[in-house]
Structure 1
Amino acid sequence: MSNLADELKQMIIDVLALEDISVADIDTDAPLFGDGLGLDSIDALELGLALKKRYNIHLNAESTETKQYFKSIQSLVTLVEAQQTA
């Protein structure tokens, strides 16, 4: 199985139907929103649901911490790893 970063990249591609993007196209440290991957708040909601479904992670949409987790693939990896060891 691929590493967690690649798994999360594939999940983003699948959940958001990013047909023109491959796992290799997504920089692990690049921003997911704005200049990076260019996701928006609707995408964030869909990703939050996918994280809940796949990793049983519950996020508070209003939380500043949650916004930090959605900063990049690397920050999502940190979140998932922290939740899995908790």
Structure 2
Amino acid sequence: MGLFSIFRRDTSGKPGEWYYCLRHGRVEEGPDCPAKDRLGPYPDRAGAERALRTARDRDEEWRTDPRWNDNPDHPDNGPAGGSPDPGATGR
């Protein structure tokens, strides 16, 4: 193990898993690119093809979730605003 081995480009994935590569802008099977450049793994090609839409939808859902927004006047906080209920349980 060399001094700079912590900086190697570890792909850390398995063949048969599908990823969306942000660097190349395409779906790839297996660990071809470094983990920092991928979304996934997904169980099939179709899931990886929807990766950007899935990420965008989840981001919007989280960004507008009133349980996680402290400033109801901030435009990103959705219609309800407010703070999380300390007695509520997560999803």
Indicate the structure with greater strand content: 2
Indicate the structure with greater helix content: 1
For the pair shown, the structure with the greater C-alpha radius of gyration is 2
Bucket of the pairwise TM-score, normalised by the shorter protein: under 0.3
Higher RCO (CA-CA < 8 Å; seq separation 6+): 1
Query: TM-score, normalised to structure 1's length?
Result: 0.21
